[in-house]
């Protein structure tokens, strides 16, 4: 059976005090409603890693980063390396989020580099892919997603590829209040799995966790997670409300 994963991307939100309150609320809620066979990951802003890792020592949550430098080290002001993340006991890292692609012009080649440095330091990459609204309207969304995946990940050998997680983001559904229907999510997730099977074989494709990342919330998570190829969620706004996030984590 594939791993079930719910990862909360806090993005650039919460003061220090608010972050501490949220982690406390999340910990208390998860103690009462511990999801079975689900990995719960929290991806706060990097300045809160130490605090989040203290909570992760209970084994209830794991900590992830929202981004990483493509460089190992050096004169790159403001960057955070995979080695630094590993030293902070960060276990996961989001790579290629649509907001990084849009606001920082991040390319698939850079995403490939970031994936490589994460794997080198034994951090699990959560690699994002997805189409914008105009690409879906032109009916080229499958081509777009296939190219993103192949350009960013097909250089990996099968052993390394088997260590990653893919998150599908219909970009038109992020922060808009719109959500892909469960059928639309399943259609794309099945396509992604088939694309991986063609490159790496059926066994690796079968075990690959594919998360849904487009305005998943406490109300629609159960329907989305009931789809055969949806293995969890990369959660944005709903991860900022402890009880909503816990409800999502228990939606399988």
Instruction: Tell me the CA end-to-end span of the chain in Å, nearest whole number.
Output: 13
Q: For residue 37, what are the contacts with CB-CB under 8 A and spacing of at least 6?
A: 1, 4, 252
Other beta carbons within 10 Å of 97: 28
Task: Specify the residue for token string 């959560």.
Answer: 126
- Angstrom CA distances, 100 to 96, 111, 151, stand at 6, 10, 17
Could you give the CA distance from residue 30 to residue 26 in angstroms, rounded to a whole number? 6
**Marked catalytic residue, from 91, 97, 131, 141:** 97
| Radius of gyration of the CA atoms of the chain, in A | 17
The span from the CA of 206 to the CA of 197, in Å, is 8
The two structure tokens encoding residue 180: 């892909």
Q: How many angstroms separate the CA atoms of 129 and 163, rounded?
A: 17
Residue from 14, 247, 206, 223 nearest 235 by CA: 247
Catalytic residue among 106, 131, 135, 169: 169
Please indicate whether residue 203 is annotated as part of the active site.
no
Is 169 catalytic? The answer is: yes
Q: Residue holding tokens 């088997």?
A: 162
Residues tagged active-site: 97, 169
């Amino acid at each position: 059976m594939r791993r079930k994963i719910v990862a909360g991307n806090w993005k650039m939100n919460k003061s220090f005090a608010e972050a501490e309150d949220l982690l406390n609320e999340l910990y208390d809620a998860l103690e009462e409603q511990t999801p079975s066979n689900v990995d719960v990951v929290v991806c706060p802003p990097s300045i809160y890693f130490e605090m989040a890792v203290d909570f992760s020592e209970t084994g209830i949550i794991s900590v992830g980063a929202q981004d990483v430098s493509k460089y190992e080290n050096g004169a790159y002001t403001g960057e955070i390396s995979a080695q630094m993340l590993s030293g902070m006991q960060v276990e996961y890292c989001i790579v290629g989020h649509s907001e990084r692609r849009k606001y920082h012009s991040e390319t698939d080649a850079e995403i490939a580099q970031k994936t490589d440095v994460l794997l080198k330091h034994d951090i699990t990459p959560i690699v994002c892919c997805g189409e914008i609204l105009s690409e879906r309207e032109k009916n080229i969304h499958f081509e777009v997603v296939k190219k993103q995946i192949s350009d960013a990940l097909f250089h990996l050998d099968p052993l390394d590829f088997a260590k990653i997680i893919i998150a599908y983001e219909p970009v038109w559904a992020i922060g808009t209040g719109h959500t892909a229907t469960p059928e639309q999510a399943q259609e794309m997730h099945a396509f992604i799995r088939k694309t991986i099977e063609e490159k790496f074989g059926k066994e690796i494709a079968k075990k690959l966790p594919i998360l849904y990342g487009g305005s998943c919330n406490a109300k629609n998570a159960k329907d989305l997670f009931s789809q055969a190829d949806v293995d969890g969620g990369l959660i944005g706004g709903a991860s900022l409300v402890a009880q909503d996030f816990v409800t999502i984590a228990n939606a399988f």
